[in-house]
Every structure is written in C-alpha cells, then in structure tokens.
Structure 1
Amino acid sequence: MDWDDLRIFATVARARQIGRAAAQLGIDPTTAGRRLRRLEKAVGQTLLEQRRDGQRLTEAGEALFARAEAVARMLDGVDEGDGETGRGLLRVSASEGFGGWFVAPRLGDFTAANPGVRVDLVATSGFLSPSRRETDVAIMLARPRRGPVVTRKLIDYGLGLYAARAYFADAPPADTVTDLRRHPLIGYIPDLMYAPELDYLDEVEPGLEPALRSSSIIAQYRLAEAGAGIAVLPCFIADGDPALMRVLPQVAIRRAFWLVVHQDTRAVPRVRRFVEWLTALAEAERGRLAGR
C-alpha cells in the first residue's frame, strides 16, 4: 500500500470532497480520484461512497481511516522529536454563533502560542462528527449519546429576548410574555433546526411562532439589530451591541456547550492543547457567556 495514496485518502475523508482535498494537497482532482481508485484496488474494498454533498466513508473506509490517522500521529511524533510540539492540522467544528462570534476573534492567540498548528474552524449551522473522524474537536449543544468519543461540559451560557432600541419607538410595549404575540418574532426555520436545543420560542411560551425565520443565528441577530422584531439571542452576541436592548429580562434561557473529541485522538498534542486553551478561555469569559 502506497503511503501517499493513503495520505490522499485521509485528506479526502476529512474534507469530504475530492476537489477540496485536491486543492489542499496541491494536486489535480483527477489525480486524486485515480489514486483513490488505486488504493481501493489495493485493499480490495470500496472506501468512499458518493453522496449529493460529497464523499462519505464506508465501513471499510472508517477502519482504514483510523489506521491512517494512527500512522500520521506516529509520523508526527517522529517529526516532532519529543512529540510535544503538537504540529499539524487541527479541525474544529462549532456552532455558527459560538465559532464565529466567540472563538474566531481569539483563535489567533492559540495559533500564536502554537505556531506549528494550522486550524480549520468549521463554524456552520450544524456540526461535524468526531466519532466519524470528520473533525478533531467539536463544540456541541448536547452531549452525544453514543460513539467512540470523550465528552465533557465546556461551559453554560445564557440567552434572552432582544430587540433594537429604535424598534420600540413605534411598537407597542412588551411587558409580559403574552405581549410577545403582538410583535414580529425572529427565530429558526423549524424543519432546518439542526438541534432540539434551538427551539427557544416554545420554551418562552408554548405556541409562539416566528414571523421572520432563518437557519442562521447571525442573520437573526442582524434582523433584530435592524429593528425587524424580537429575537432570542445568545447573550455573548447581543449584550455587546449598544443598539440592542433586553426585552423581558426575567426570561432567561440556559444552555451548555459540550467539548467532544474522538477517544483515539484526545492525547494528540495539538488536540490536547486546543482543548486546554478553549477550556481556560471559556472559564475566563464565564460571566460574558452567562449574560448580564
């Protein structure tokens, strides 16, 4: 088995698209596809299956990917001498709000302290799976119930109702939860809600329906900021915007972020260091995350 073919396979498995992986490797997608077919012929099994959104590992692919990762970690250790410099690529999956709003502005501090580490921050509506080796670290809204993963709570965080201060210049007051029915509410699209923990409005008052809906928490924040209505927003996003005000402060929603890593990679230096860094950062910002 050619190690270079195995390296291409592992990159495609992480990127989930041949074209994206080829760009990372600096080779032509046709070449990457040909090398993958050669690897499949060598092992006598189909390793990747084509889906609408790209390539996915088969059961045989999962097993080979685990072996490829183990070899890569071994080679990292050879390259790094004592194995403690933690060089290499680290992929981190987080929700759009936490990843884009909280982690991204501080991520340069981590890479400055760990110059050998390159970081892919995947901050989207949804999560990559550590158990399927799609990411090295995931910050999730709920604790996974199964899989070969190690999980711990990162931090609790708060959410509340917010609207633009200018919005109430023409809108009726909102002094009670019942008053919310007289206002345009902003929330998630129900069938695109990627986690049940995002069903905030029903927790505020059963039956509340958003008039303006988006799968993006950043879009919901922008709608509220523009005076389009009232939204449930994370305090770490909304409290820092002087154009927004808290509506019904007694309505306080609590959620938690969970740190998830694959059990086989938790001791990899770059993974361990990132988990330690993020844990310390979240603890230092506990008050901001909880909300005033």
Structure 2
Amino acid sequence: MQNWDDLRLFLAVAREQSLSGAGKVLRLDPATLGRRMGRLEKAMQVALFVKSPQGYALTQAGAQLLERAGAVEQAMRGTAVGDDAKSEGLSGQIRLGAPDGCANFLLPQVCAAIGRDNPQLEIQIVALPRVFNLTRREADMAIGVSAPTAGRLVVRQVTEYKLHLAASESYLEAHGPIGCLADLKSHRMVGYISDMIFDRELDYLADLGAGRVALASNSVSVQVNMLRQGAGVGVVHDFSLPFALPLRRILTDAVSLTRAFYLIRHVDDARNARLARFADLLSAGLREEVARLEALVG
C-alpha cells in the first residue's frame, strides 16, 4: 500500500475528476499534482486514470484503489474513537449528502443539536438534487428518497413524511377556489424540471394528471419560494410549511402523499463506531424533527 500522502492526493483527484478541481481542494498546483499522480501510477505499475480534455476518469484499477484508499481514510478519521465515543463525544469531520428539501428544512436543526452536544465534531452538509456516490466517497453517508438496490451499501429507513398540494393565499384569492383535481388543469403549476428528476419518488405531478409545469426548478426550496410569491400551485413537504407561512394546503382529502427518507452508508463503514454513533443521532433527530414540524400544520 502506498503512503497516506499519496493516497490523500489520489482521493482528491478521483473525487474531483480533474487536476484543477483537486488542486483547489488541496491548494496545490495542478502541474505538481499531475506529476504526483504520474509517479503513483509508475510506482504501482498500473494506469489509475483515463486522461482526456474532460478530466480524469478512473480505470478499473483506479476504482479499486479508490475503495481501498477510502477505507484507509475512514479508519484514520475514526482513530482514537472507540466504545467510549458516547461519553466523550464525537470529533473530527463527517460529510453528509442530502436532497435539498431535507438539507434546507430539517438538517440545520438536527445537525445544530448534534453539534451542540459534540463541540469537537465538524459536520458538512452537501445539498444536491441527485444520488450520491458513496463508493467514490463523495460523502461519508447520505440521505435518499428511495432505497438503492445496487452497490455495496447499508440502507435503513429513517422516517416517513407527508406531502400535499399548496398555494399562497394571494394566489388563491386572485384565481379562485380549487375544488377538485380537475381544476388544476386551469392553474399554473410549480414543480420539478422534468428531465432533472433524479428519483421516480419525486415525480409527484405526473401521478396527479396536473397541467404543464409553468415554473420549474430542480430545487425544492426554490419551488417553495416561488409558491410563496404566488406563482401557482405545487406539491410541498408538510415539514416545510412552518417555514413558508403564506402557503396553505389544498385538496387534502384528494391528495396526500407519503414518502420516506433512507440513511445510506457504505458497507465498509458498518463497523466504524464513530459513524455508527452519528448515524443513530442523525436518524433519531430526523424522526423527531419531521414529527414536530408536521404536527404544527395539523
């Protein structure tokens, strides 16, 4: 196995898929980084990357090294964290990937509470509307809206949550009441950009037979803010409504959707006591926060 400094540089290039991107993360000159990667490939006598104008893509050997190097990184992060982690508190850095609805309306409260109880812990929330690749170590763990069936992953359902149609009071006053689903066809709809829906569980409007999406975004928080501005009607998480008071749920008897959040971890991290402790705190916090916020809207 190569020394940790070589692996640290390799991990950055593999994750950023470019010398320039990795150079920014590491604060190293890309040319220096390129020489280091060339030296690493020569020492290992195998090509780790396919180089092209588009960047650095991993070869099969590179993907295998990424998995091994990621395991070394996790072990180093977890050094000195044993069975007494609960009493001594968590420390070090943990990166959490999440869809932006969860990241914007739930994780700030949950992670703030965990951080208060564990002042030496550094929590990074990566909010992106896509599926995270834990094999590439884009994050230490991720929240998903469906349970992945491929990959070396450990998945557990954390909590269910509700969604309903909603619109602002100003929009409803200007456009009249909405009495049934058929009425939606004459209203402006707010929702996801259709070709950027990264999970079938998010394709709410297709199942409702609503009209075209007049205002769209790949971001849940942007959709909520468009609805608050009276842009139209859309599907929103009940847990987001306490942060968007001008919005009011409509057609609650006709439309009530239930989805779930899943906590996804790489199988190689299953025995990492530090990450396991954080996962337990995160799961409990999410369940409590969803229940609290949903109770506020009835």
Query: With structure 1 as the length reference, what TM-score do the two structures score?
Result: 0.89
The CA distance in 1 between the partners of 2:231 and 2:60, in whole Å, is 48
Tell me which stretches of 4 or more aligned residues in structure 1 moved more than 6 Å: none
CA distance in 2, matches of 1:222, 1:100: 12
**How far is the alpha carbon of 1:249 from its aligned partner?**
1.5
User: How many Å apart are 1:137 and its aligned residue?
Assistant: 0.5
Q: CA deviation at 1:146?
A: 1.4
1:155 and 2:156 correspond: no
Alignment check: 8 A CA contact 2:186 2:211 kept: no
Q: Which residue of 2 aligns with 1:234?
A: 237
Are residues 1:94 and 2:98 paired?
A: yes
Q: Does 1:65 align with 2:66?
A: yes
Asked if the contact 2:188–2:211 (Cα under 8 Å) also holds between the matched residues in 1, the reply is: no
- Check conservation: 2:67, 2:136, Cα contact below 8 A: no
Aligned to 2:250: 247
Tell me which amino acid in the other structure corresponds to 1:244. L
What letter corresponds to residue 152 of structure 1 in structure 2? R
Number of aligned residue pairs: 290
Q: Deviations over 1:13-72 (max 9, x none)?
A: 344444443333333333222212211221122223457875443321221122223333
- Partners of 1:51 and 1:183 lie apart in 2 by 48
* SS state at 1:249 partner: coil
Name the structure 1 match of 2:10. 9
Deviation digits for residues 250-289 of structure 1 (CA, Å, limit 9, x no counterpart): 2111111111100001222332122111111122124246
Q: Deviations over 1:121-174 (max 9, x none)?
A: 110111212244322111111111111110010111111111111112211210
1:129 to 106, 110, 133: 133
Taking only aligned residues, the RMSD between alpha carbons, in angstroms, comes to: 2.4
Query: Equivalent residue for 1:37?
Result: 38
- Call closer, same or farther: CA 1:150–1:74 in 2, change over 3 Å: closer
Segment of structure 1 superposing worse, 85-94 or 144-153: 85-94
Relative to 1, partners in 2 of residues 1:258 and 1:81: Cα closer, same or farther, differing over 3 Å? closer
Q: Measure the CA separation in 2 of the matches of 1:286 and 1:52.
A: 45
The structural deviation recorded for 1:108 is: 2.8
Give the Cα–Cα distance (whole angstroms) in 1 for the partners of residues 53 and 212 of structure 2: 32
Structure 1 counterpart of 2:248, one-letter code: M
Letter in 2 for 1:38: R
Aligned mates of 2:71, 2:182 — CA distance in 1? 57
Rate the CA distance shift 1:141–1:19 in 2: closer, same or farther, 3 A: same
Amino acid corresponding to residue 113 of structure 2 in structure 1: D
Runs (5+) with no aligned partner, structure 2: none
SS in 1 for 2:69: helix
Correspondence for 1:109 among 84, 106, 113: 113
Q: 1:25 corresponds to which residue?
A: 26
Asked whether the 8 Å contact 2:168–2:228 carries over to 1, the reply is yes
1:269 to 1:55, Cα distance in 2 relative to 1, 3 A: farther
Structure 1 unaligned blocks of 5 or more: none
- Distance in 1 (CA, whole Å) between partners of 2:249 and 2:77 is 49
Q: 1:76 to 1:167 in 2, by over 3 A?
A: closer
Q: What's the CA shift string for 1:190-235, capped at 9, x where partnerless? A: 111111111111222x353212222221111111000010011111
Q: Please, which moves more after superposition, 264-273 or 226-235?
A: 264-273
Aligned to 1:221: 224
Could you tell me how far apart the structure 2 residues matched to 1:26 and 1:132 are?
Answer: 21
- The code of the aligned residue for 1:106 comes to V
Amino acid at match of 1:47: L
Greater displacement, 59-68 / 257-266:
59-68
Counterpart of 2:124 in 1: which secondary structure?
strand
Tell me the percent identity.
34
User: Closer, same or farther in 2 for the Cα pair 1:47/1:105, shift >3 Å?
Assistant: farther
SS in 2 for 1:285: helix
> What is the deviation of 1:247?
1.3
Between the aligned partners of 2:53 and 2:217, the Cα distance in structure 1 is 23
- Partner letter of residue 192 of structure 1? M
Cα distance in 2 between the residues matched to 1:66 and 1:196: 28
8 Å CA contact 1:86–1:269 kept in 2: the answer is no
